[in-house]
Copies of this chain bind each other. A is one copy, B any other.
Amino acid sequence: MRGKPTLRDVAQRAGCSITTTSNILQGRSHMYKEDMVQRVLSAAHELGYRPNATARNLARRRTTTIGVVLDPQHARITHNVYAHDVLDGVLAYLEPRDYDIRLITPRANDPAAVWRRIDNGSIDGVILIAPVMGSPLLEWRHYSSLPAVAVGSTLPDEYLLSQVDIDNDAAMATLTEWVIQQGHRAIGFIKGHPLHWSAHQRERAFRRILSQHGIPIREEWILQGDYGPESGAIAATQLLSQKDLPTAVIAANDDMAVGFMQKCRELEIPVPETISVAGFDDAYWVQRMGIQLTTIQHDRYQVGYLAAQLLLHQLETGDSRPQRILIPGTLVVRRTVAPAYALASVPTPNATILTEGGSRQ
């Protein structure tokens, strides 16, 4: 015996067959005599035996490994808070269940390489993190029948992918309702990145709620952003140079809201006195900055956790029909949205509202 000890070495030392050794080492010791069990166990221990995962995977035809695919856009995950919040949740669910995680970062220039890495029997299933519109990853069913769950992008049904995401639509609806209840009728909007489904969903919800309240939508107050803080600042410049201004602006995420507010400060336009601002995401760095931004809080960790759970469920049951799980967000009322006029604000009827301090009303 040279190199790492194998099952054969252990069997030899215990003086029994490989099968016996394998069975006992896998915990099926009930059928064996106590003496045998002990011999095998101590032989394994003495040799420092560790089962070879590769061989086991080959024989079992499964790997207890889940692939996590980051879209090319997110290849550098550093500043993509979203991706690692989700990843944390995935880890939290998978790790205690003895699943391993393989990180897959597609090279932008070679989409086929991704498929080679995904569909090569090295993983049992895959979690796609926030695929964007037009991503080659979404051609999923053309290339692979591996169980998959997409996360962070509520895709159209035709992609035939199970999905877990926050409920962008409902959350933005709640936020917009709240702003309207504060008496605002002149409301602007800063759109998110055009390749993200979430951006469209948030915008759509905003428009719908305005319409439902009979509030006219002023297209000149709806500005294109890209989820980056700078784009919020640019939107501010565009908006604030108009002669007629809204009394409130909703940004499709916190980063843009903060960019917007920074520009406001430069222009000495007080928030929320002159203009109210709301964000979306409850970004950690914004909280940490001490900015009292009214926003939507949601649980990305939970998204990852549930995605992993759903995927394992599909693996176990073999039922891989596409499912969709939406996690509701929570309105967090802080200080950047003020009443448009001195009316008592009416509480929102059908949404959880978290006021700063943590009390629910």
Contact = CB atoms under 8 A, between A and B. Distances in A.
A289 interface: yes
A100 B77 contact: no
Contacts of A100: 102-104, 117, 122
Contacts of A26: none
A350 interface: no
Determine how many copies of this chain the complex contains.
2
A103 B117 contact: no
- Interface range for A: 35 or more
A104 B92 CA distance: 11
Contact of A120 (B52, B91, B284): B52
Interface in A113-162: 115-117, 119-122
Interface string A274-293: 00000000001100111000
A68 to B, nearest CB: 8
Interface of A: 4, 50-55, 57-58, 63, 65, 68, 75-79, 81, 84-85, 87-88, 91-92, 95-96, 100-105, 107, 115-117, 119-122, 229, 262, 284-285, 288-290, 301
14 contacts: A50-B115, A50-B116, A52-B120, A55-B58, A65-B102, A76-B88, A91-B103, A100-B103, A100-B117, A101-B102, A284-B285, A285-B289, A288-B289, A289-B289
